[in-house]
Amino acid sequence: MGVLAVSTDVWWGLVEKDKDSYDWTYYDKLFQYITDAGLKIHPIMSMLTLAINAFDEQFDEVPIGIKIPGVHWTAGGYDQANNFANKMPRSAEVCAGIISSNFTPDIAANGCGPGYTSSIQMIANLESSTSADVDLYFTCIDMANNDVAPAYSMASVLVFGVGTQAHAKGLTLKGENALAPNSGSNWNKNNFWWNINNVISCSWYDGVNVLRIFNVVDSTQKTNYQKLINEHADN
């Protein structure tokens, strides 16, 4: 099975930094690299600027949400001898277009790296220049690290790293679960509900968007969900 195409986000805030002024220099260069390699391009338009312009007048007080997915696979597998048990470090994030190939390998020691820094800075700049209320969401706050083959997942490190960077830029940050709770989901350390509570309590996340809500309305998970709400009722 070969690679036929590359999917990448197109951040409209980088293209139209000033109203009606468009600069495609970065994406022209990126797309040229891809086509020179004989690959097809699958662009994903990230039109945060257009959303801000669309929600005006009656909606200008409504926060606009933008999500960065928690692509946590292959983020680990690094050791202090500068060797990789993981032979494709951070390849999942690069292929998803979240970080560049100029990545930081050892995220446990050095943070989650320049890819998130540039994206978060772009969002902060856009919020500042437009006076819009933009909430950043990051997914996988329910997951613990699992830095073993073949996944080499560093979900928790990414969650806390993004939290630190978003706080430094003054952004409102909220989290989402990646997986659905199941019969084994509980409040034990590194389990589903404990992980979410730990992120809210110990990082810079101001709220939670619960995905797959139908999975938390049965008797067991409804009790766990209510406990989470009660833990943070005064926040």
pTM for the whole thing?
A: 0.77
Looking at residue 167, its pLDDT comes to 94
Low-confidence stretches of the chain (pLDDT beneath 50): 1
- Cα distance between residue 193 and residue 187, in whole Å: 5
For 206, the token pair is 């101001």
pLDDT of residue 165: 92
Place of tokens 């309305």: 217
Tokens of 64: 């606009």
Cα end-to-end span (Å), the chain: 50
Angle between helices 219-231 and 192-202 (to 10 degrees): 10
pLDDT at 177: 93
Cα gap 86→67, rounded to integer Å: 27
User: Residue 157, Cβ neighbours under 10 Å: how many?
Assistant: 19
Residue 18's alpha-carbon distances to 53, 59, 207, in angstroms, are: 13, 22, 31
Helices (H) and strands (E) in the chain, counts: 9, 6
Q: What is the pLDDT of residues 23-79, one digit of tens each?
A: 888 888 888 888 888 887 766 666 666 677 767 666 777 788 888 999 999 888 876
Closest of 154, 157, 178, 159 to residue 75, by C-alpha:
154
Residue 200: CB partners within 8 Å, gap ≥ 6? 175, 208, 231, 232, 235
Sequence-distant (≥ 6) Cβ neighbours of residue 193 within 8 angstroms: 181, 185, 186, 187, 224, 227, 228
pLDDT of the residue at 77: 83
CA dist 58 and 25 (Å) reads 35
Give the span between the Cα atoms of 193 and 181, in whole angstroms. Answer: 8
**pLDDT value of residue 95:** 85
What is the pLDDT, as a whole number, of residue 2?
A: 59
How far apart CA 73 and CA 68 sit, in angstroms, is 15
Say what the pLDDT of residue 87 is.
80
The pLDDT of residue 1? 42
Domains along the chain with CATH numbers: 1-46 (no CATH), 57-231 (3.20.20.80)
